[in-house]
């Protein structure tokens, strides 16, 4: 937890200034007494001039240091703790002086896998709960909100790409069905022509079905709406089920080939080869069995997700198999999933307490 700037150095400087001032007065009085004794013929004390010089130097130095400390504290109080300093601050990034040290402000820009791993280690320690100031909590909540919005946009974009690919595949399947229907219709037509050529009397036309009534049309539309709603709910379940199937296959391959094993480019894992959750903020709720899960089920689901998504565990198990060109992007996404999982578990704990 970040502490307020200490006033102890200022108190020490004020004490040193006061003592040196008293010594200066004493030296001045001794100098006057020495002048009077010199006038009466008494010899002067040896070394009095050097002692007086040291006292004056100590008084001047402590007074200047006290003045500089006062000016610095006044400038810090006037500027506030939220002043953002340029990139010349230690660390090479936009930083601010909180009165006692440099603090780096990280907005929503995941820079590298190492920085993400450092933030992930802090996220899993739960150190901020009950040990942070209101200003720190506001900055953390803002950073988490910005990051959650960023990854929500990433998930929405991936969902749009998946839906576009599904539409393309569905269009291709529909085109294949139409082509097969045309081929079958042509074959039936050819067979009918051959049959009519063999038989003189043409066969009677088949009876046409009666037109549908209005009541049957309304019942059919209601059934279509119900099936569409069921299809929307089932699609979400299918996405989570597909993720679990892909994870089972990935863990099976890792167990067969050894952790981090595999030879050749064919065994390397890319960004799209990782079974990402459809919605990272709902991962803990889905694993726990739904929104109504109790505290024990939520904790067990959290431990299960941590074994899979913790950045260190993920890197130790699959880091050697990640494709070099997509390694940083993959580890960054793993860290984001871990932070979202940690935030969801913290909310569940606060809600259950």
**Running along the chain, 353 residues long, what does each successive block of 10 average in pLDDT?**
54 82 82 65 57 83 85 71 43 52 49 49 48 87 92 91 93 93 90 79 66 53 54 71 86 66 65 88 82 81 89 89 90 90 85 63
The answer to whether 72 touches 64, Cβ cutoff 8 Å, is no
pLDDT at 209: 67
Report whether 297 contacts 289 (CB < 8 A): yes
Structure tokens at 88: 């010349």
Residue 322 phi/psi, 5-degree rounding, is: -75, 140
DSSP category for residue 102: E
Coil vs helix vs strand at 96? strand
Structural tokens at position 324: 């070099």
Distance CA 226, CA 33 (A): 110
Angle at 312 between CA 308 and CA 313, to 5 degrees: 35
- d(Cα 172, Cα 170) in Å, to the nearest integer? 5
Q: How high is the pLDDT of residue 169?
A: 94
Both structure tokens of 152:
């929500």
Classified as helix, coil or strand, 34 is helix
- pLDDT at res. 103: 55
Residue 323: how many CB atoms within 10 A of its CB? 14
User: Do 85 and 94 meet the contact criterion of CB atoms below 8 Å apart?
Assistant: yes
**What is the structure's pLDDT at 38?**
61
Q: State residue 39's pLDDT score.
A: 59
Provide the residue ranges of all domains of the chain, joining segments of one domain with +: 8-79
Q: What is the pLDDT of residue 260?
A: 42
Nearest to residue 109, comparing CAs of 101, 119, 99? 119
Alpha-helix runs per DSSP H in the chain: 8-40, 48-79, 113-123, 134-198, 214-257, 283-288, 295-309, 311-318, 327-352
The whole-angstrom separation of Cα 304 and Cα 310 is 10
Cβ–Cβ under 8 Å, residues 347 and 148:
no
């Amino acid at each position: 937890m970040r502490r307020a700037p200490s006033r102890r150095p200022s108190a020490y400087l004020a004490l040193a200034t006061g003592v040196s001032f008293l010594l200066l007065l004493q030296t001045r009085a001794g100098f006057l007494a020495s002048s009077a004794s010199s006038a009466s013929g008494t010899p002067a004390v040896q070394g009095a001039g050097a002692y007086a010089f040291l006292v004056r130097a100590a008084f001047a130095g402590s007074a200047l240091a006290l003045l500089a400390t006062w000016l610095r504290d006044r400038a810090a109080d006037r500027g506030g703790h939220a002043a953002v300093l340029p990139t010349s601050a230690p660390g090479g990034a936009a930083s601010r002086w909180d009165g006692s040290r440099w603090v780096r402000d990280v907005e929503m820009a995941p820079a590298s896998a190492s920085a993400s791993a450092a933030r992930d280690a802090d996220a899993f320690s739960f150190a901020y709960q009950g040990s942070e100031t209101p200003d720190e909590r506001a900055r953390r909540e803002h950073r988490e909100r910005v990051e959650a919005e960023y990854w929500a946009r990433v998930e929405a974009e991936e969902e749009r790409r998946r839906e576009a690919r599904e539409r393309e595949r569905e269009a291709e399947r529909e085109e294949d069905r139409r082509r097969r229907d045309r081929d079958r219709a042509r074959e039936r037509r050819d067979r009918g022509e051959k049959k009519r050529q063999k038989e003189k009397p043409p066969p009677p036309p088949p009876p046409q079905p009666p037109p549908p009534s209005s009541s049957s049309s309304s019942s059919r539309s209601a059934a279509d709406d119900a099936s569409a709603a069921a299809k929307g709910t089932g699609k979400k379940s299918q996405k989570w089920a597909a993720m679990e199937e892909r994870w089972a296959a990935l863990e099976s391959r890792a167990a067969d080939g050894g952790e981090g094993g595999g030879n050749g480019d064919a065994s390397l894992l890319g960004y799209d080869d990782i079974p990402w959750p459809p919605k990272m903020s709902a991962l803990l709720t889905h694993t726990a069995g739904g929104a109504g899960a109790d505290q024990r089920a939520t904790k067990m689901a959290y431990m299960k997700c941590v074994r899979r998504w913790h950045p260190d565990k993920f890197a130790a198990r699959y880091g050697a198999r990640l494709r070099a060109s997509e390694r940083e992007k993959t580890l960054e996404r793993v860290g984001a999933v871990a932070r979202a999982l940690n935030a969801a578990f913290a909310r569940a704990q606060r809600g259950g307490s």
